Chains A and B, each alone.
Chain A
Amino acid sequence: MLDPQLDADGNLIHLLSTEGLSKEQLTRLLDTGASFIGVSDRDMKKVPLLRGKSVFNLFFENSTRTRTTFEIAAKRLSADVINLNMSTSSTAKGETLLDTVDNLCAMHADMFVVRHESSGAPHLIVDHLRRTGRNDIHVINAGDGRHSHPTQGLLDMYTIRHYKGDFEGLNVALIGDILHSRVARSDIHALKTLGAASIRVVGPQTLIPTDIEALGVEVHRDLESGLKDCDVVIALRLQRERMTGALLPSATEFHGLYGLTHERLKAAKPDAIVMHPGPMNRGVEIDSAVADSPRAVILPQVTFGIAMRMAVMSVLAGGGA
């Protein structure tokens, strides 16, 4: 079965997942991101690469932050950006996802940025575009269910490369709610392809997906063993509704077992960086003292995120990575 994000020649035409991308493709995306870093620092923050193109932000799940970063990225590439808050729009009136897509295609969309609560929703759109012969429209997955959030994965890789130079030999730990995390899955695939030495997932069994070892990770129940000699520590967001119930007894207990503190981070390498996809729950998955310390690179992640989203859009529009 062909990876639907690639064309017959293996060029990237959609971005659906970090899985399936070659090391060269990932590296080219990161390099392209690097070339956009300067753009945001200039007085004139725009480049004309997507001039005349229409980018539709299709957010079926609310997210002001991610939507905003895509909007900024598209505008810095001189695209026209249309934001559609789908949770209150047509689907609430019973229109199907593909009806919505057809309508927007008729408005001459060039690119869809899709966030959806169902894993695989962007794949359905890509499959539909292919079936109906509209291969010139590109789809970027901005987060689908628990499956994938590839631009977050890419900006995480960018951040790691920025601070660590290379992926060879790196030990990386992802802490907390792996089960519901599309960020974790995106990071794992990218890290694997880019050659990280070890990838650990750390959390209670209730938050670790079944047989996740098959993705090439080590599972640790214990935070100290998971953090041992780590170069990169990625804390994941724990959704409020999952803090109490059958998955976890309480946020306090979770913090006691898996919350990142300076004390706990002593197990990691002294120069380990701490990342978080945001928004953070201070005092739950991460202590404020850690989040505000120099080893935390959480705000740079946001800045790099805009450059990486520009990179993805320009590579898709320019044809092939």
Chain B
Amino acid sequence: MKTHNIEIRGGRVVDPASQFDDTASVFISDGKIASIGQTPAGFKADQVVDANGLVVAPGLVDLSARIAGNIDAELEASVAGGVTTLACPPDVDPIIDEPELAERIVRHAEDVSQVRVLPVGAMTQGLAGTMLAEMSLLRDAGCIAVSQGRGLPADTKVLLRALQYAASCDVPVWLQPAEYYLSKDGIAHDSAWSSRLGLSAIPVAAETMAMQNVLSLAWETGARIHFTQISSAEGVALLRAAQDDGLPVTGDVAVHALHLYEQDIGYFDPLARFDPPLRGFEDREALRIGLAEGTLGAVVSAHTPRGVDVKRVPFAEAAPGATGIELLLALTLAWGESLSLPLRRSLLPVTAKAAEILGIDAGQIAVGQRADLVLFDPDAQWTVQESDLRSAGKLTPFLGRTLQGRVMKTLAGGQLVYERG
């Protein structure tokens, strides 16, 4: 088969991993990056992609996007959001607790898209928190880690066993830290705000107790832990302390939690119902700083497509989560902008850092790497509208907000898989 050569011409190449930031052409050959800046010997472009006025960055790496259930539409949304590698949590329908299910998702994704889809398997069968899932087989089927979905098992002994077993198989464990009973019936941050609205609350202690339990057991078992969607200032502090103590533990934050806080619930807006809940103003600030300081390595979209049938209902009855993968870039840029971070730093938690947590080669522009790239206009302003979203889930609390930075083109595996019309 003839080699397909692509030149991405005239863009501002920003690579967070190498801190490279300069105008350069990127040359792609056989789906891989052949050169940056200099035309490789004998290279003849079959296709030239004009990147004038655009930033050329590594394709985004999203550690949490619930795409199963409607894989085709959600992968379309993924490339429209510039995401070329994603991990899908197990708490989808059906729950990813069997190797065949994980395999099916990976195969389906490969059939319809160039996006790399890495399922996160269930840590316990049916996520019921009682019997271990087949972690080793799940890993063999393509799972990047195992997880308990939202929260921890109620039974701490099961948690201990799961971490011991995962450590034996060398399967990473990703946990959304929430103590089972303290978080079970809650729908909002425990504070004056939820007291005023009369919403049942989840205290920050649900997160810190869960983290403390997991950290104790991580020392004990040697399990590799990643905390996903840390939501509180105290949670960030615990993570930092554990890292300072030398534990190889990582964490991420949902991109909406960098911008919203509990008062964005307003008058019971069901679109602002998330799990973990939007927390206080100080929590949001701590998350923003924690991400900038690197305590939190990655920022995730926490993409959860939801229909009107489960969102246009009273707040307490609304399903948690919102569509988000198409907002990941702009919301991450807005975070970086607000802290005056250079672009190469702002993009780190959605590229190289996130890939490092996954433990795969991705999220960087380097010779020999798979050519996964996002080309975006850093100055373009756009208003989030339902009609613009490709995801099957159209509902997000950011509807109507004007954001800056828009994905114009996406390449995955060396193919132009998205171009804004």
Q: A and B from one assembly?
A: yes
Question: Which parts of B201-250 form the interface with A (CB within 8 Å)?
Answer: 201, 203
Closest CB-CB distance, B360 to chain A, in whole Å? 42
Q: Is the CB of A97 within 8 A of B195?
A: no
| A209 interface residue per 8 A CB criterion | yes
In angstroms, Cα B312 to Cα A212, docked, is 29
Asked if B191 contacts A124 (CB within 8 A), the reply is: no
Query: Which of B198, B200, B313 touches A182 (beta carbons < 8 Å)?
Result: B198
Q: Does A1 contact B195, Cβ atoms closer than 8 Å?
A: no
- Is there contact, CB below 8 Å, between A214 and B315? no
Residue B316 is within 8 A (CB to CB) of chain A in the complex: yes
Q: How far is the CA of A4 from the CA of B313 in the complex (A)?
A: 17
Q: Mark A104-135, 1 if CB is under 8 A from B, else 0.
A: 00000000000010111101100110000000
Contact A148/B201 with A98-B312, A212-B192 known, Cβ cut-off 8 Å:
no
A182 to B266, CA, bound (A): 18
Please give the distance in Å from A97's CB to the nearest CB on chain B: 6
Is the CB of A211 closer than 8 A to any CB of chain B?
A: yes
Q: Is B192 touching A119 in the complex (CB atoms < 8 A)?
A: no
Q: Which residue of A is nearest B201, CB measured?
A: A210
A120 touches B195 (CB 8 A): no
For A131, the closest partner residue in chain B by CB is B312
Select one of A118, A185, A213 contacting B315, CB under 8 A.
A118
The reply to whether the CB of B196 lies closer than 8 angstroms to some CB of chain A is yes
Q: Are A210 and B309 in contact (CB under 8 A)?
A: no
When distances are taken between beta carbons in the complex, the residues of chain A under 8 Å from B316 are: 118-120, 145
Q: Is the CB of B198 within 8 A of A148?
A: yes
Let me know if B312 and A124 touch, CB within 8 A.
Answer: yes
In the complex, A245 Cα to B315 Cα: how many Å?
Answer: 27
Query: In B315-363, which residues have CB < 8 Å from any A CB?
Result: 315-317
Q: Which residue in A19, A124, A209 is a CB contact (below 8 Å) of B314?
A: A124
Task: Answer yes or no: A96 CB below 8 A from chain B CBs.
Answer: yes
Residues of B within 8 A of A123 (CB): 267-268
Q: Kindly state the separation between the CA atoms of A31 and B266 in the bound complex, as whole angstroms.
A: 31
The yes or no answer to B199 lying at the interface (CB within 8 A) is yes
Minimum C-beta distance from B258 to chain A (A): 21
B312 touches A185 (CB 8 A): no
Docked complex Cα distance between A32 and B238 (Å): 57
Name the one of A96, A120, A215 contacting B268, with C-beta atoms under 8 angstroms: A120
Taken residue by residue from 269 to 288, chain B's Cβ proximity to chain A (1 for < 8 Å, 0 otherwise) reads as 01000000000000000000
B380 lies within 8 A of chain A by Cβ? no
CB distance B312 to A214 under 8 Å?
Answer: no
Contact B196 A210 (CB under 8 A): no
Separation in Å of the B197 CB from the closest CB of chain A?
6
Find the residue from B200, B267, B314, B315 having the highest chain A CB count within 10 A: B314
**CB neighbours of B192 from chain A (8 A):** 210-215
Q: Are B190 and A96 in contact (CB under 8 A)?
A: no
Contacts of B195 in A (CB 8 A): 209-212, 214-215
B22 to A: closest C-beta gap in Å: 44
Q: Digit string of A79-103 for contact with B (CB within 8 Å is 1, else 0)? A: 0000000000000000011100000
Is A75 engaged at the interface, CB distance under 8 Å to the other chain? no
Size of the A side of the interface (Cβ < 8 Å), in residues, is 30
Q: Which residues of A contact B196 (CB under 8 A)?
A: 19, 185, 214-215
**Which residues of chain B from 146 to 196 have any CB-CB distance to chain A below 8 Å in the complex?**
190-192, 194-196
Query: Which residues does chain B contribute within 8 Å of A96, judged by CB atoms?
Result: 309, 312-313
A4-B267, A210-B192 in contact; A97/B313 too (CB < 8 A)? yes
Does B267 lie within 8 Å of A145, measured CB to CB? no
A118 to B266, CA, bound (A): 16
Q: Mark B114-134, 1 if CB is under 8 A from A, else 0.
A: 000000000000000000000
Q: Are B198 and A145 in contact (CB under 8 A)?
A: yes
User: CB-nearest residue of chain B relative to A147?
Assistant: B198
The answer to whether A255 has its CB under 8 Å from any CB of chain B is no
Task: For chain A, residues 128 to 170, give those with C-beta under 8 angstroms from any C-beta of chain B.
Answer: 128, 144-148
Contacts of A144 in B (CB 8 A): 198
Residue of B nearest to A181 (CB): B198
Chain B residue with the shortest CB-CB distance to A182: B198
On chain B, the residues within 8 Å of A147 by CB distance are 197-199
- In the bound complex, residues from chain A placing their C-beta under 8 Å from that of B317 are 118
Closest to B268 in A: A120
B191 touches A1 (CB 8 A): no
B312 & A128 in contact (Cβ 8 Å cutoff): yes
Establish whether residues A1 and B266, one from each chain, have CB atoms under 8 Å apart when the complex forms. Answer: yes
Chain A residues, Cβ within 8 Å of B314: 97, 116, 118-121, 124
- Across the interface, name the chain A residue whose C-beta is closest to B181: A246
Name B199's contact: one of A119, A128, A212, A214 (CB within 8 Å): A119
Which residues 368-415 in B have Cβ within 8 Å of A in the complex? none
Contacts of B191 in A (CB 8 A): 210-211
Give every chain B residue within 8 A of A1 (Cβ-Cβ): 266-267
**198-215 of chain A: CB within 8 A of chain B:** 209-215
Q: A124-B268, A210-B190 are in contact. Are A119 and B198 (CB under 8 A)?
A: yes
Could you mark each residue 1-15 of chain A with 1 if its beta carbon is under 8 Å from any beta carbon of chain B, else 0? 101100000000000
Contacts of A148 on B, CB cut-off 8 Å?
198
Chain B residue with the shortest CB-CB distance to A211: B192
Known: A214-B195, A214-B196. 11 other contacts (CB 8 A): A97-B313, A98-B313, A118-B315, A118-B317, A119-B197, A120-B267, A120-B316, A147-B199, A182-B198, A210-B195, A213-B192
Q: Can you list 30 A-B contacts with CB-CB less than 8 angstroms, sorted by A residue number?
A: A1-B267, A96-B309, A96-B313, A118-B317, A119-B197, A119-B198, A119-B199, A120-B197, A120-B199, A120-B267, A121-B314, A123-B267, A123-B268, A124-B268, A124-B314, A124-B315, A145-B198, A145-B199, A145-B316, A146-B198, A146-B199, A148-B198, A185-B196, A185-B198, A210-B190, A210-B192, A212-B192, A213-B192, A214-B195, A215-B196
Chain B residues with a Cβ under 8 A of chain A: 190-192, 194-201, 203, 266-268, 270, 309, 312-317
Task: List 7 tightest A-B contacts by C-beta distance, closest first.
Answer: A120-B268, A146-B198, A209-B195, A147-B198, A214-B192, A118-B314, A211-B192
